[in-house]
């Protein structure tokens, strides 16, 4: 990334729509826009208009009008990147938005790298690294809960706790390094107790944040739930009910489902990846046998299994054999076709995919499985990602060593070493100790216009 460049990209999703937005940011953003914009009425050039104003006109390439547009002028530092920014609102569509972008590139901008706008926001102090990652989380959120947590992280809920822990560690480290400069003076017992208390408090903060890792994983990737069972038990019907739409083909013919079908649903605010699978039976033809093989693979990857049983047929030896295959994975038995009057056993839950009876209770059970063993956050919700978890785990381990060193009287230089490791690892979360390689890896996952 070269901050002296002026960059441009399409900021809206590809495809046809009512509008598309081309974003230009950098020191020459206004000059680039002036070269391609012809105002609808006589007035000053864009370089002379006030910030945060909108102007009607046309994008032109030479004498040719490319599109009728609205241009928004945003002067730094009151912008997303803290740089001068111009946003061109043109008609939606693949061709017209690409032509406007090409005109911007021909006028002196270069094509932005993936995530470069957000990376500039980070480099320019507009966002810290955890907040920058929250931008991507908010864009990719699949449920209202996911979006709420991502928005909280964007607002600094996670960063505030991280900075509190790191500031405490840096204060302790400053005391320890000050004593290293005067080796003849030991840390007074009372001072040592104060420093140890600070480290314990920081460790408590870090451990509390780490306990949200499972919630973060589910919110970002979804709980994987495989729907398994014998042919014609109602697996595809159950998928359709949970999705609220007819996604899977349902027929009375055994073996209709020949492959896995994966869809994401919001279940009580939690993203759940539902995988419909082929019915497991003996004597299947070659194509169905391949579907059954894939069903077993899907079951092996799932975090929760919904074992659908035909309540009218009852529990069969084949169901017992299937349960034996899935031991070790959380399994909920779903007795389908309860509308036929069958009274399910005490194990599992009775539903009717035909009438919808029991589906709400099943959703409650799935949500309970998603949150099992999870400590829900009070107040400001946070839910860390895998990068945060790895950094904080290293920080927690180093901090535990530092606390043990303080208590056992280990030489101060070794104590300081562990404190530096702990502070550095915790600081990685918000980007205070991030390397260029780490930044490249993070922002390369963003889209071009963000």
CB of 305 closer than 8 Å to CB of 272: no
Mean pLDDT of the chain: 87
Q: Given this model, what pLDDT does residue 252 score?
A: 58
- For residue 337, give the nearest of 361, 357, 323, 315 by alpha carbon: 357
Q: How long, in residues, is the chain?
A: 450
Q: Given this model, what pLDDT does residue 300 score?
A: 86
**How many other CB atoms are found less than 10 A from the CB of residue 352?**
19
Q: Given this model, what pLDDT does residue 187 score?
A: 63
CB of 266 closer than 8 Å to CB of 142: yes
Q: Given this model, what pLDDT does residue 231 score?
A: 87
Ranges of residues in the chain whose predicted pLDDT is under 70: 181-191, 247-259, 281-285, 288, 341-346, 373-380
What percentage of the chain carries pLDDT values higher than 70?
90
Q: In what order do the strands lie in the sheet with 19-25?
A: 37-39, 53-61, 64-74, 85-91, 19-25, 7-10, 110-111
For residue 185 the two structure tokens come to 């003076």
CB of 65 closer than 8 Å to CB of 59: yes
**Interior angle at CA 369, CA 367 and CA 372, nearest 5:** 110
Continuous segment of H or E residues that includes residue 360: helix 359-371
| CB within 8 Å of 130: residues ≥ 6 apart | 153, 158, 159, 162, 388, 429, 430, 431
Give the single-character DSSP code of 50. P
- Cis peptide leading into 77, omega within 30 of 0? yes
CB of 363 closer than 8 Å to CB of 267: yes
CA atoms within 13 Å, Cβ hemisphere of 443: 28
Q: Given this model, what pLDDT does residue 345 score?
A: 63
| CB within 8 Å of 164: residues ≥ 6 apart | 205
Integer Cα distance of 211 and 133 in angstroms: 19
Integer Cα distance of 154 and 141 in angstroms: 13
- Which domains does the chain carry? 7-128 (3.30.1360.120), 131-212+381-431 (1.20.120.430), 219-371 (3.40.50.300)
Question: How many secondary structure helices (H) and strands (E) does the chain include?
Answer: 15, 13
CB of 258 closer than 8 Å to CB of 235: no
Q: Given this model, what pLDDT does residue 81 score?
A: 96
DSSP letters, 237-280, are: HHHHHHHTS--S---SSTT---S-EEEEEEETTEEEEEEE-PPP
Integer Cα distance of 400 and 420 in angstroms: 13
**How many other CB atoms are found less than 10 A from the CB of residue 324?**
8
Q: Given this model, what pLDDT does residue 343 score?
A: 56
| Coil/strand/helix, residue 397 | helix
Paired with 71 in beta bridges are 55, 88
Rounded to two decimals, the pTM is 0.83
Integer Cα distance of 339 and 333 in angstroms: 17
Going from the C-alpha of 118 to that of each of 13, 23, 100, the distances in angstroms are 17, 12, 22
Q: Given this model, what pLDDT does residue 445 score?
A: 81
Rg from Cα positions in the chain = 29
- For residue 366, give the nearest of 336, 342, 330, 339 by alpha carbon: 330
**How many other CB atoms are found less than 10 A from the CB of residue 12?**
17
């Amino acid at each position: 990334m070269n901050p002296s460049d002026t960059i441009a990209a399409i900021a809206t999703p590809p495809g046809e729509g009512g509008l598309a937005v081309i974003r230009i940011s950098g020191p020459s953003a206004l000059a680039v826009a002036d070269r391609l914009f012809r105002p609808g009425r006589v007035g000053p050039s864009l370089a002379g208009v006030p910030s945060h104003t909108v102007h009607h006109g046309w994008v032109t390439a030479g004498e040719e009008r490319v599109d009728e547009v609205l241009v928004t002028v945003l002067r730094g530092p009151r912008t997303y990147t803290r740089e001068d920014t111009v946003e061109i609102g043109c008609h939606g569509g693949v061709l017209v938005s690409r032509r406007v972008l090409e005109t911007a590139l021909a006028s002196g901008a270069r094509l932005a790298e993936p995530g470069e706008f957000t990376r500039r926001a980070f480099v320019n102090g507009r966002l810290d690294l955890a907040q920058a990652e929250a931008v991507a989380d908010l864009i990719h959120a699949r449920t209202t809960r996911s979006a709420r947590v991502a928005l909280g992280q964007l607002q600094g809920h996670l960063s505030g706790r991280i900075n509190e822990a790191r500031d405490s560690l840096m204060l302790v480290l400053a005391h320890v390094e000050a004593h290293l400069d005067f080796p003849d003076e030991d840390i007074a017992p009372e001072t040592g107790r104060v420093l140890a208390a600070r480290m314990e408090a920081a460790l408590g903060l870090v451990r509390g944040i780490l306990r949200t890792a499972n919630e973060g994983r589910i919110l970002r990737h979804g709980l994987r739930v495989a729907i398994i069972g014998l042919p014609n038990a109602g697996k595809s019907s159950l998928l359709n009910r949970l999705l609220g739409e007819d996604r899977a083909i349902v027929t009375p013919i055994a073996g209709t489902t020949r492959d896995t079908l994966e869809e994401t649903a919001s279940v009580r605010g939690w993203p759940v990846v539902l995988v419909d699978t082929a019915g497991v039976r003996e004597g299947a033809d070659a194509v169905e046998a391949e579907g059954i093989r894939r069903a077993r693979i899907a079951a092996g990857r799932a975090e929760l299994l919904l074992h659908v049983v035909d309540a009218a047929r009852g529990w069969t030896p084949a169901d017992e054999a299937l349960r034996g295959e899935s031991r070790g994975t959380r399994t909920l038995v779903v007795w389908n076709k309860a509308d036929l009057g069958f009274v399910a056993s005490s194990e599992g839950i009775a539903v009717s995919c035909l009438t919808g009876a029991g589906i709400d209770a099943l959703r409650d059970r799935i949500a309970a499985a998603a949150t099992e063993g999870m400590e829900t956050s009070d107040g400001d919700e946070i839910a860390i990602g895998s990068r945060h978890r790895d950094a904080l785990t290293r920080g927690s381990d180093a901090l535990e060593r530092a606390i043990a060193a303080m208590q056992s009287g280990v030489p101060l230089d070794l104590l300081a070493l562990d404190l530096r490791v702990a502070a550095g690892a915790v600081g990685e979360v918000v980007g205070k100790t991030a390397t260029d390689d780490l930044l490249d890896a993070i922002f390369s996952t963003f889209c071009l216009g963000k």
